[in-house]
Amino acid sequence: MLSGKERDRLKVLHEVGEGHLTQGEAAGQLRISDREVRRLLVRIKQEGDKGLMHRLRGKASNRRLPASLRTRALKLVQAKYGDFGPTLACEYLAKEDGVELSKETLRQWMMAEGLRRGRRRRVEEVHPWRPRRSCRGELVQWDTSEHDWLEGRGPQLYLVSMIDDATSIAYGSFVEHDNTQANLRVLWGYLERWGRPVEFYTDKSSLFTVNRPVVEAADEAVKEELTQIGRALRELGIGWIAAHSPQAKGRIERFFGTAQDRLVKGLRLARASSLEAAQSYLEGEYLPHWNQRFTVLPAGSSDAHRPLRTEHDLASILSLVEERVVTPDYTFRYQGKMYQIARRDVRPGLRGGRVRVEERLDGSLAVRFRQYPLTVTECAVRPKTPLPAKPLRVPASRPKPAHNWMKGFHLEKSPPLGVIVGSATQGGSPRFFGG
């Protein structure tokens, strides 16, 4: 069967055969040389219209890869890279096994062997496209991915990552718990390596924002509340932007999508089964490979990261900070314990004032009053003295009718009001009832 291109070519050559076109005009329309036109006319005269067909149609290509290479590649894929995609499998075949292939060739082989299916394109909701920021450090996306990174070989891990919006340069760390302390440690590592970015772009997790009920009136005054991470970013002079949907921070989401494929399989081949081994592979293998291959050049050549200054004490800023009121005896309570401020640190305004209590990431406790550090010691726990037992109160009982002062008085027959009961002749004193 002739293809559409060959049918169009055949029509022009028939016009030449009938004398309606010259060979030069036909060569111009077909964008081939005059000699090629004459050669095609000879083949049509000898073989008919099928003379335009390519001589290798239906035959194996002269550049076809040997069958032994195909067999070896598919055996390696089935044995070691069964759930790898063609691109990632090609990289590992070339790096680990010395088999050089193109990803498209391997994809066709895997589909023909039934090791992979064609992917159907999904129709997704369209979100407006946002261009990258112009320079590095202007906006950094920050998020956490919960995934079975070790595939059951070790503890449950979380990947806390940050990716630059302008260049896609990534930084991250594995943690065992996705809490404030773990995210502050990752932030500390980023700040020491590159400095302070202009803004961070995160979701609306409770780690970054305080979720409060909606106010009823638009002009109602609401006290601003910050999380520990929000307070630390403000003290560092770093802005914060909240994303309203996962698609808004698509760069970090796509980074996690790639990591859940490539990083998981790399950890498997590295036989990582602990937090330390996973972190070593992440820092030594995966992130350098990502930052070398999957990053882009920014539109601007400047770097928006700002250096850390002397007032930026990371140990103090990146800690859990709370305020406590000092009692008249210069003590305060924190986490159910009482602490005594040293006598030499007592200064005007301290009694009844508020101190800043910092629970550092290394577990130590630091206390400040304004800009002055305070020395504190934990007070001994006072033994609880039992309360004195209350005397048992016995309710007073009603006197029995046989009592002396009840003589001559019968409950069944009460005298009418205003009647004098008893007389001197009866041996008793008179009693008056009534008003």
- In this predicted model, what pLDDT tens digit does every residue of 66-96 receive, in sequence order? 888 888 999 998 888 888 888 999 989 988 8
For 10-36, what is each residue's pLDDT tens digit?
888 888 888 888 989 888 888 889 999
Q: Please choose, from the candidates 334, 279, 322, 52, the residue with its C-alpha nearest in 3D space to the C-alpha of residue 149.
A: 279
Q: What is the pLDDT of residue 218?
A: 54
Q: What is the pLDDT of residue 415?
A: 55
Q: Please choose, from the candidates 197, 137, 203, 128, the residue with its C-alpha nearest in 3D space to the C-alpha of residue 167.
A: 137
Q: What is the pLDDT of residue 221?
A: 58
pTM for the whole thing?
0.70
247-254: average pLDDT:
90
Q: What is the pLDDT of residue 337?
A: 92
CATH fold of the domain at 140-212+225-293: Nucleotidyltransferase; domain 5 (3.30.420)
Q: Please choose, from the candidates 169, 159, 186, 160, the residue with its C-alpha nearest in 3D space to the C-alpha of residue 132.
A: 169
Largest CA-CA distance found in the chain, in angstroms, rounded: 170
128-137: average pLDDT:
87
Q: What is the pLDDT of residue 256?
A: 95
Q: Counting runs of H as helices and runs of E as strands, what totals does the chain give?
A: 12, 14
Sheet of strand 320-325, all strands in order from the earlier edge strand to the far edge: 320-325, 354-359, 365-369, 372-374
For 179-213, what is each residue's pLDDT tens digit?
999 999 999 999 999 999 999 999 999 999 987 76
The ranges assigned to domains in the chain are 4-52, 67-112, 140-212+225-293, 319-378
C-alpha distance across the termini of the chain, in Å: 133
Least trusted range by pLDDT, from 104-118, 231-245, 365-379: 104-118
> In sequence order, which residues have a C-beta less than 8 Å from that of residue 230 and are 6 or more positions away?
208, 209, 210, 240
For 206-233, what is each residue's pLDDT tens digit?
999 987 766 555 555 566 789 999 999 9
> In sequence order, which residues have a C-beta less than 8 Å from that of residue 264 and are 6 or more positions away?
147, 148, 149, 151
pLDDT band of residue 423 (cuts 50, 70, 90) is very low
Q: Distance between CA 318 and CA 345 in Å, rounded?
A: 25
**110 is written with which tokens?**
């895997």
Secondary-structure breakdown of the chain: helix, strand, coil percentages, each rounded to the nearest 5 = 35, 15, 50
Q: How far is CA 279 from the centre of its chain?
A: 17
Q: What is the pLDDT of residue 388?
A: 79
pLDDT band of residue 424 (cuts 50, 70, 90) is very low
Task: Evaluate the CA torsion angle 176, 181, 185, 191 in order and state its sign.
Answer: positive
Q: What is the pLDDT of residue 399?
A: 61
pLDDT more than 70, % of the chain: 86
Contact 243, 249 (CB under 8 A): yes
Least trusted range by pLDDT, from 141-155, 316-330, 374-388, 401-415: 401-415
DSSP string, 385-412: PPPPPPPPPPPPPPPPTTSGGGTT--SS
- pLDDT value at 167 more than 50: yes
For 324-355, what is each residue's pLDDT tens digit?
999 999 999 999 899 999 999 999 999 999 99
Helix pair 23-30, 34-47: axis angle to 10 deg: 100
- pLDDT value at 435 more than 50: no
Q: What is the mean pLDDT of the chain?
A: 86
61-68: average pLDDT:
84
> Which residue do the tokens 């005594």 mark?
340
Task: Evaluate the CA torsion angle 166, 170, 176, 182 in order and state its sign.
Answer: negative
For 374-389, what is each residue's pLDDT tens digit?
999 999 877 777 777 7
- pLDDT value at 54 more than 50: yes
> In sequence order, which residues have a C-beta less than 8 Å from that of residue 211 and are 6 or more positions away?
204
- pLDDT value at 422 more than 80: no
Contact 86, 110 (CB under 8 A): yes
